[in-house]
Amino acid sequence: MIDKELHYRRVLILFGILLFIFAGLFVRLLIIQLAHYPKYSKLAAVQRQGSLLKNTLKGSFFDRHGLLIRGSSEAWYLLIEKTVPTRGKMICDRLRPIMAENFEKSYDQNKSQSFWIFPIPLNNSQIVQIRALRFSECKIVAATARQDQYQGIAWHILGLNDKERGLSGLEHLYQKFLQGAGNNGSIFTLNDGEKGYFPGLGLRSQSNPNLSGVVLTIDAKIQQIVEQVMVSHGVTGAIVILDAQTGQILAMCSRPQVGSLDRDAMEKHPYLNRAISAYHPGSIFKLVALSAGLDSGLLSPDDYFEDRGFYRIGDKLWRCTTSKGGHGVISLKEALAYSCNPIFIQVALRLRPQLILDYADRFGLGQPANIGLRDESWGKLPSGIGFSDGDIANLVLGQQDVYTTPLQIASLIQTIANDGVRCVPQLVLGTVLKKGAAFKPLIPKPMERVIKSETAGMIRDMMTAVVTFGTGKLAQLPGGAAGKTGTAQVNDEADAPSHAWFGGYTPINHPKYVGVIFCEQGISGAETAAPLFKEVMEKVTRIED
């Protein structure tokens, strides 16, 4: 009896264990079918797919109006069907001069495939040439791809994003925000259980873009104007356009850039963003000395100085570059208009270097704006301690250990144009979240009064004279313009080409745009940079018409 009860008990225990196991399996199957169905369905579909092309789709960059600058868009690719050996070499030979360098290698590796796609997007010229060949084995197919970084605008701002060269620019800063798991655009075939192609089912495409993005202060139309002007004139240098009221960067361009150069032209440093690299500012720095003197009360617009054509300190002579015989006795306004070196040396000796350098610091010179680009230079301001009179002379002329970036000079001009209030330059407005429904603004840095309103008004009047009858005459605009030229020595060699600068704003009465032109090894600010300022601003202001 006892043995029978023990037997029944064992059967019940075994039955309970089996019931528990089957219940667990049933629950697991329910979870797979209901909760994990999308995941496993996708995995099953992937197993049946033969991948021909897979583009990773990161988030996008937009301009201030929501226009796409870099992001996901339709691209065109060359698809080649399996060719018979007798035609294969002929097709490859005809396509080789049309396609990129590594096309022949890719062709040899894939010629036995039923289908294969060359993974580099085609441009319009290539599409036309391929269609003209009329090869039945060659087809042009569309797929979603991230915009080519070498063809779009604002290249130095957005930077690099590729495996070989790494990350730079805003691509580096927003790398984690922009990348998305599983976001891709692909072209594939449907395969059987042995991964063979199903004839007659054709090709399939899939697009799963990343909807997150970064909104810039850049105006795409203004950026295009600036880049076109630099390319048309073959300028090596930079142009920066700011909103005069907010300090937001409307355009920032550096040339040359990688996409515009041959492979043997790397000595021109195409990766260098000259808009945020530091150079001697030349006579534009006179605006700092003028601001320091007028704002502190040590100078007055009614002050007059004598220019004899040169200024001597010991055995060193500084000449007036705009009048060999000297201007005689002239006002501060005329001295700035003619960019008279001897008079500004007298001004600097009256003020002493510490005061000038203090105002340079207030204007943001010698410090980065921290706009999000890791290669932004600080520039450099000397300490001024132990300066001789000769050092002070070179300081006010923007040469003595003074280095500024075009962006910093644009901020200097913006402060003067904005009635003495500095708005720290801003490049990013904010981010768009993945669902595309929420905009997260980037809080701008607080504005700061640098010089009194009265001081800014006096300097604007003097900068107007620069364009009206002074060294900046070639920058005159229908709506009026004000500015300052600058010509900076690159080295001590007399025949070495100088850097040419022009910084200004327009219109006169209600400044809207601030522009800085920097021409590396140009002729002079008056001859080279000022006319470019005029051309750029004429086109920019025409956008509104």
Q: Which residues pair with 243 in a beta bridge?
A: 513
What's phi and psi for 493, nearest 5 deg? -75, 130
81 assigned to some structural domain: no
Structural contact between residues 281 and 484, judged by C-beta atoms closer than 8 angstroms = no
Q: What's residue 160's pLDDT?
A: 82
- Spatial separation of the C-alpha atoms in residues 73 and 295, rounded to whole Å: 53
pLDDT at position 141 is 86
Name the amino acid, one letter, at 144: T
How many independent structural domains does the chain possess?
A: 2
Q: Are residues 285 and 149 in the same domain?
A: no
Whether 26 maps to a domain, the answer reads no
Q: Which of 216, 246, 275 is a domain's end point?
A: 216
Contacts of 347 (CB under 8 A, 6+ apart): 289, 290, 293, 299, 305, 332, 335, 396
Q: How many residues does the chain have?
A: 545
The domain boundary, picked from 165, 183, 216, lies at 216
CA dihedral 96→99→102→106, nearest 10 degrees, is -80
Residue 385: domain span: 220-542
Pair (522, 429) in one structural domain: yes
226 shares a domain with 164: no
Write down the pLDDT at residue 468: 97
- Residues of the chain with pLDDT below 70 are 1-4, 6-7, 31-50, 148-151, 162-166, 180-182, 185, 188-210, 259-267, 434-437, 491-496, 544-545
408, 425 Cβ separation under 8 angstroms: no
Within this chain, do residues 238 and 211 fall inside the same structural domain, yes or no?
Answer: no
Q: Which amino acid is at 87?
A: R
Burial category of 177 from C-beta neighbours within 10 Å (exposed 0-12, middle 13-18, buried 19 and up) = middle
> For residue range 395-407, what is the model confidence (pLDDT) as tens digits?
999 998 999 999 9
Are residues 437 and 520 located together in one domain of the fold? yes
CATH of the domain at 210: 3.90.1310.10
In a domain, 94, yes or no: no
pLDDT in tens, 209-235: 667 889 999 999 999 999 999 999 999
Q: What pLDDT was estimated at residue 200?
A: 47
293 and 435 part of one domain: yes
Backbone angle region of 478, left / alpha / beta, with phi > 0 → left and psi within -120 to 50 → alpha: alpha
Are 258 and 209 within one domain? no
Q: What CATH number has the domain bearing residue 255?
A: 3.40.710.10
- Is 229 inside any structural domain? yes
How far, in Å, CA of 263 to CA of 305, rounded?
A: 54
**179: number of Cβ within 10 Å:** 15
Does residue 274 share a domain with residue 408?
yes
Residues 352 and 416 in one domain: yes
Q: Are residues 263 and 166 in the same domain?
A: no
* pLDDT score for 502: 98
In degrees and rounded to multiples of 5, residue 445 shows phi and psi of -70, 150
Same-domain pairing of 179 and 311: no
pLDDT in tens, 243-253: 999 999 999 99
In a domain, 97, yes or no: no
Nearest to 537 by CA among 470, 447, 472, 476: 476
User: Which one-letter amino acid corresponds to residue 279?
Assistant: Y
Angle between helix axes 341-351 and 389-396 (nearest 10 degrees) is 120
Q: Tokens 């700061």: give the residue.
A: 448
342 lies in a domain? yes
512 contacts: CB under 8 Å, gap ≥ 6: 243, 244, 245, 505, 506
Residue-level pLDDT at 149: 64
Please report where in the chains the tokens 């995941």 appear, as a residue: 39
